[in-house]
Structure 1
Amino acid sequence: MRQSQAAVLERYRVLEGDFATEPYETGWATEARWFVQVLRASSPAVRVVLTTQVSPDGLHWCDAEYPPQVCEGEGMISWPVREFGQWLRIRGSVEGDEGSVKVQIYLTLKE
């Protein structure tokens, strides 16, 4: 029987500028999927650029081999991640004039 887990890494957090989520240990899983829901954007011109990062120890990070994801306005985006090693997180930036977004960020894992 396969195991699965869902983790809420950010709940109703307001983001501005550059940010990174808390790291999450994922070494037991064979596949993962990010879900980023923008609940509120300060303006329609605001966009969020999201990059999956990997780490062997949860302290030192590099960008994974996946293209950055872009969320414009409100709504939800999702993307899969495979062959990620031990730890995952998202590095991102909110772009636009003094822009901010209120988000929820989920990470789902499966072995």
Structure 2
Amino acid sequence: MIDTATSPARGGSRPLPLQLLSRIAAAILGGYAFCWGFIAIAHSGLYALGMSFHDAEHLSAILGVLLFLVVFLWSFAARRIGVTWAVLLTGAGVMTGAAALIQRALLA
């Protein structure tokens, strides 16, 4: 006899595997950090190249939203979650650091 009280189709809850939770966290948190770094470097770079401040701000934010969608989907499609985390966090740190250097050069 089948136990329908704990069947997933009947509303029974099963804990999510750790790998799925890690992918969800990478998609949301890692994607946010990566896109934050991208928006910072794009905004700084476009302003340094002569675009007006608000135009650079809006363009980088629009591109950042599109990039977040790509990163979100990629984090679920990637084969290895460790590589996904490494790419997202390293990329976020490098882009944020480069944006800080560009901003410091603009103020000097």
Give the structure-2-normalised TM-score. 0.26
Larger strand percent: 1
Larger helix percent: 2
Larger Rg: 2
Give the structure-1-normalised TM-score. 0.26
Query: Higher relative contact order by CA 8 Å / sep ≥ 6: 1 or 2?
Result: 1
